[in-house]
Amino acid sequence: MEIDRIDRKILAILQANNRIANVDLAAEVGLSPPACLKRVKRLRDEKVIIGDVALINPALAGNKMTLLVSVEMERDRGDIYSVFRQSVEKAPRGDSVLSDYWRIRFYVGDFCARHTSI
């Protein structure tokens, strides 16, 4: 799929505000609303746009703290890593394992809420 200057502009605008009305998006990129809608549909159909997300403010959603936990393993054993990863993925409020260095992000309501073991 060929992505031209107008497609790139559409993508930049949608990345900043994916709730923009098509008529406003069309005006910003210099297209008619039907032509703009056709381009957005093509970008979605071709999987250039793969989804829409909502960015949540953790503090307003009741999670006032973000904890970033680093874990080091004493031994270099794959079976231990596997068990640990499975435990983390089952942990309440565990967001993700960010890398193989075992950095895990948790969003919690307060410090006391994180006094549970995984």
CA distance 94 to 88: 7
Q: Angle at CA 15, nearest 5°, toward 62 and 10?
A: 155
Displacement of CA 83 from its chain's centroid (Å): 25
- Is the model's pTM score more than 0.85? no
| Tens-binned pLDDT, residue by residue, of the chain (118 aa) | 899 999 999 999 999 999 999 999 999 999 999 999 999 999 999 999 999 988 877 777 776 666 666 667 666 777 777 787 777 677 655 455 545 556 666 666 655 554 454 4
What structural domains does the chain harbor? 5-46 (1.10.10.10), 58-90 (no CATH)
